[in-house]
Amino acid sequence: MGRIFLVHLEGKIYSCKHCKAHLALGEEIISKAFHSRHGKAYLFNKVVNIMIGQKEDRMMMTGMHTVSDIFCVGCGSNVGWKYEAAYEKNQKYKEGKFILERFKVSGPDGSHYWVNNETHVGGSDGEA
């Protein structure tokens, strides 16, 4: 009854902290060296069960990017963003890839994750 069909993944799964919807697999991680305004973030090759928001230009640590926020289809919470376009040549590898904010997802080890209180001014990004 109005149940949303969710893609099920198998393996080392990163899932939504709120509704447990599967979002991505550990093997799809490209980099763990990213940062969001709230702490660590991982770059994924592929994520599932997300809705993509409006595109906007955002100034990141590594330059200007066009990004879209991504939302869990299960509960609508913002779980990260997608890189639509990068303006710096050496950042092009991020295009079409996804960031999941670590504190918004449950990892495959099921461990708790505490972000530090480091604040990043403005946008967020990593791997300069």
Q: Which residues of the chain form contacts with Zn ion (CB under 5 A)?
A: 16, 18-19, 21, 72, 74-75
CB of 16 to Zn ion, least distance (A): 3
CB of 29 to Zn ion, least distance (A): 19
Hey, CA dihedral for 107, 49, 87, 116, is it positive or negative?
A: negative
Hey, CA dihedral for 25, 87, 104, 4, is it positive or negative?
A: negative
CB of 47 to Zn ion, least distance (A): 12
39 versus 74: smaller Cβ distance to Zn ion: 74
77 versus 90: smaller Cβ distance to Zn ion: 77
Taking alpha carbons only, the member of 116, 112, 108, 56 closest to residue 85 is 56
CA distance 16 to 72: 7
78 versus 90: smaller Cβ distance to Zn ion: 78
